[in-house]
Structure 1
Amino acid sequence: MLEPLLPKGARAGRPPVWPRRRLIDGIRFRVRTGVPWRDVPVEYGPWGRIYDLFRRWQRNGTWHRILSRLRALAEAKGPVDPQARERLHPHRLSRNTPPIQGKCPEVSLLQHPLVT
């Protein structure tokens, strides 16, 4: 589902050492758990490479395009259940609680049920 939205590798040459899917899983692990980048398990790849991919896609708008596409898919499925937010985010105690400042939309994107 996300493959058409991801940037294509334009460079010819040596194949990547770490598969992109594994690096994306590392980004999702970091976002889901909230650990520092340096504490992402090595099984996802080197933390510097994972962080580099995250920042590169953040700067070039890839995360924004993916989020827009996922929102469009969700809206096409019909109205959203009003209690869905509470089910997806049980840590939110009140609807009146303001969102955490500085949280980028990429974080909510990676926790989206269509991404998992």
Structure 2
Amino acid sequence: MTRTVFLTDSQWSLIEQLMPPAAAKGGRPFQDHRRVVEGIIYRYRTGTPWRDLPESFGPWQTVWKRHHRFSGDGTWDKILTELLSQADAARLIEWEASVDSTVNRAHQHGTNLGRATGATSNYTNLLVEPPDHAIGRSRGGLTTKIHALCDANMRPLVLLLGTGQGGDSPMFPHVMSSLRVPRRGTGRPRTKPDRTLADKAYASQANRKLLCDRGIQAVIPEKSDHIANRKRRGGKGGQPPGFDKEAYKRRNVIERCFQAFKQWRGIATRYDKLAVNYRGGVILRTITI
């Protein structure tokens, strides 16, 4: 890797065959995909403004428009889905999933669009811009949350955006329902892990029931107030939920996954005005991982 070239030839060969055709029907042909993709990676890796991209990547407008197009038409998501399908066929995915969220500060250049207030999130349609642009005000100011689910090998499987002040527990059903890894050949896509590891923020009865109903082992510690309430009720409080302490120790993979994301400055700090574009950058980082 050099300062302006990130992908090796072997890595690009995996992505190249999944890129859109060089020329759309009846339209102008695309410029070289590899140069433009390297420009997009450079922008998110360094956090530089689009206008300040080195001339070696071509016109900055072309790089931005290509990223905006691929983020909005699902190209990045399709590439990631295909790579995950190949990884699953090669038995590289370990289906012990960890889920969590990370808060990212939104730069003032990414928060100057009008937006609806409230705690809505971009989980109904990943390719449609939410009215709040997935930006909310939390203790850290204007922020965006990345809700993620990764496997035991630190491989991201699901990535959703939410407002910074939004809770983790309400997003949990959307994260779990978004898991879909197609199988090679015949068979339905893989939509559930063997077990799910999460911290106390996800320790609601509704989340435990969701996992139980789907046959997924829940590895979630019990909150202290839940313990106190159960003991206060005595025999009517029921038995404590099962909890595998040894498995829970492996939940650190999701924190390491976020650390890998935030090595790219354009991900650690949100400079994008549009949530669709910012999530596209997050998906692109996932592709490189």
Unaligned runs of 5+ in 1: 92-99
Q: Note the 1:71-110 alignment, pairs <5 A.
A: 71-75=84-88, 76-79=91-94, 80-81=152-153, 82-83=252-253, 84-85=256-257, 88-89=260-261, 102=275, 104-110=278-284
Residues 3 and 70 (structure 1), Cα distance of their counterparts in 2 relative to 1, 3 Å cut? same
Q: Name the structure with the higher helix share.
A: 1
Instruction: Give the alignment partner of residue 59 of structure 1, picking from 56, 68, 72.
Output: 72
- Determine if contact 2:261/2:285 at 8 Å carries over to the other structure: no
Q: Distance in 2 between matches of 1:67 and 1:108?
A: 11
Q: Normalising by structure 1, what TM-score? A: 0.68
3-state SS in 2 of match to 1:35: coil
Q: Name the structure with the higher strand share.
A: 2
Q: Distance in 2 between matches of 1:68 and 1:89?
A: 18
- Could you say which structure has the greater relative contact order, defined with CA pairs below 8 angstroms and 6 or more residues apart? 1
Residues 69 and 43 (structure 1), Cα distance of their counterparts in 2 relative to 1, 3 Å cut? same
Greater Rg by CA: 2
Q: Distance in 2 between matches of 1:5 and 1:90?
A: 26
Q: Distance in 2 between matches of 1:86 and 1:59?
A: 23
How many residues get paired?
105
The offset of 1:39, in angstroms, is: 1.2
Q: Note the 1:1-116 alignment, pairs <5 A.
A: 1-8=14-21, 9-11=23-25, 18-75=31-88, 76-79=91-94, 80-81=152-153, 82-83=252-253, 84-85=256-257, 88-89=260-261, 102=275, 104-112=278-286, 115=288
Q: Distance in 2 between matches of 1:57 and 1:33?
A: 20
Q: Normalising by structure 2, what TM-score? A: 0.31
Instruction: Name the aligned partner's letter for residue 24 of structure 2.
Output: A
- Determine if contact 1:64/1:105 at 8 Å carries over to the other structure: no
3-state SS in 2 of match to 1:2: helix
Percent identity between the two aligned chains = 30
Unaligned runs of 5+ in 2: 1-13, 95-151, 154-251, 264-269
The offset of 1:68, in angstroms, is: 2.0
1:95 maps to what in 2?
A: none
3-state SS in 1 of match to 2:288: coil
Q: Can you list the C-alpha shifts for 1:37-59, whole angstroms capped at 9, x where unaligned?
A: 11111111110010111111122
